């Protein structure tokens, strides 16, 4: 039997890692470090740096593996993602079998928290009964964003909706919703809505030393956010951003 610890590590700041996460990493026999190609090499390096800072168990080993990429040729988005998750699960199985041939405990560091717009749990569900999955929650990008701007996510007594850039771009602002938190935006989905009366709180690399935050009336800061986002993406080779939209 293999136990797989899915450890939420927050948004890149080692100080956001909980005591539970540190204890989990230190009881793992191996910690899996996924590699996502040269353009995202610093993501793997950040995972290594976090391990170097908090893992004190000399018996714990780091095991690196290459993640498969999504096939851009499949036209249907959900099918494309589903096939990709199948491929990742196969790589996980092979890596675990090689690293722990006699069983044991493996840990995988997950950005933010495994419960919020993250596919790690769905991929882990493909591994079968031979793998026991344990989740250690982490600080979400949404929590880091609201902290960076020092704002609450909701107005008094009001609900809010968490959605994706794709949903906002394709379907517009959901009816009856005052506040939207938008994740997984490939870039500028907020340009698809009427900016009148809308305020945006945007952040990239929230919680990391590279953190950038901007806010204001959407009509006034939209272009600035797009330009800042492109510049940051070019500088780092990747970008993680999130934003909140609120109608007056």
Whole-number pLDDT of residue 46: 84
Q: Rounded CA gap, 190 and 133, in Å?
A: 36
Is the per-residue pLDDT at 236 higher than 60? yes
What is the H or E stretch that residue 162 is in?
Answer: strand 161-164
- pLDDT band for position 56 (cuts 50, 70, 90): very high
Is the per-residue pLDDT at 76 higher than 60? yes
Express each pLDDT in 2-44 by its tens digit.
999 999 998 878 888 999 999 999 999 999 999 876 656 677 8
8 Å CB contact between 105 and 3? yes
Burial 214-232 (b: 16+ CB within 10 A, else e): bbeebeebbeebeebbeeb
H helix intervals, 100-195: 120-124, 141-149, 165-171
8 Å CB contact between 124 and 6? yes
Whole-number pLDDT of residue 223: 97
Strand ranges across the sheet with 104-110: 61-66, 30-35, 104-110, 2-8, 131-136
**More confident position, 163 or 117:** 163
Whole-number pLDDT of residue 109: 94
Domain borders along the chain are 2-139, 142-247
| Mean pLDDT value of segment 40-62 | 88
Is the per-residue pLDDT at 200 higher than 80? yes
- pLDDT band for position 130 (cuts 50, 70, 90): confident
User: What class is the 2-139 domain?
Assistant: alpha beta
Q: Rounded CA gap, 200 and 233, in Å?
A: 20
| Mean pLDDT value of segment 57-85 | 86
Token pair recorded at residue 60: 């714990």
Q: Rounded CA gap, 114 and 122, in Å?
A: 10
142-247 classified as CATH 3.50.50.60: no
- Report pTM: 0.84
Instruction: Give percent of the chain above pLDDT 90.
Output: 73
| Mean pLDDT value of segment 197-201 | 98
User: What distance lies between CA 86 and its chain's CA centroid?
Assistant: 19
């Amino acid at each position: 039997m293999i136990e797989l610890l899915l450890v939420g590590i927050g948004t890149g700041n080692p100080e956001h890692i909980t005591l539970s996460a540190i204890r989990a990493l230190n009881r793992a026999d191996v910690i899996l470090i996924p590699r996502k190609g040269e353009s995202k090499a610093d993501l793997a390096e950040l995972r290594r740096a976090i391990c170097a800072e908090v893992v004190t168990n000399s018996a714990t080993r780091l095991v690196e593996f290459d993640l498969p990429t999504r096939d851009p040729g499949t036209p249907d988005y959900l099918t494309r993602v589903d096939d990709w998750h199948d491929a990742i699960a196969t790589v996980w199985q092979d890596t675990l079998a090689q690293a722990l041939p006699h069983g044991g405990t493996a840990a995988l560091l997950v950005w933010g928290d495994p419960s919020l717009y993250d596919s790690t749990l769905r991929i882990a569900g493909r591994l079968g009964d031979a793998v026991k999955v344990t989740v250690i929650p982490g600080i979400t990008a949404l929590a880091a964003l609201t902290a960076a701007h020092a704002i609450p996510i909701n107005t008094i007594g009001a609900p809010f909706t968490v959605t994706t850039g794709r949903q906002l771009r394709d379907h517009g602002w959901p009816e009856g919703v005052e506040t939207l938190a938008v994740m997984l935006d490939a870039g500028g989905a907020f340009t698809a809505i009427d900016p009148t009366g809308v305020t945006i709180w945007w952040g990239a690399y929230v919680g990391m030393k590279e953190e950038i935050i901007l806010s204001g009336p959407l009509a006034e800061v939209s272009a600035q956010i797009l330009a800042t986002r492109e510049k940051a993406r070019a500088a780092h080779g990747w970008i993680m951003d999130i934003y909140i939209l609120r109608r007056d």
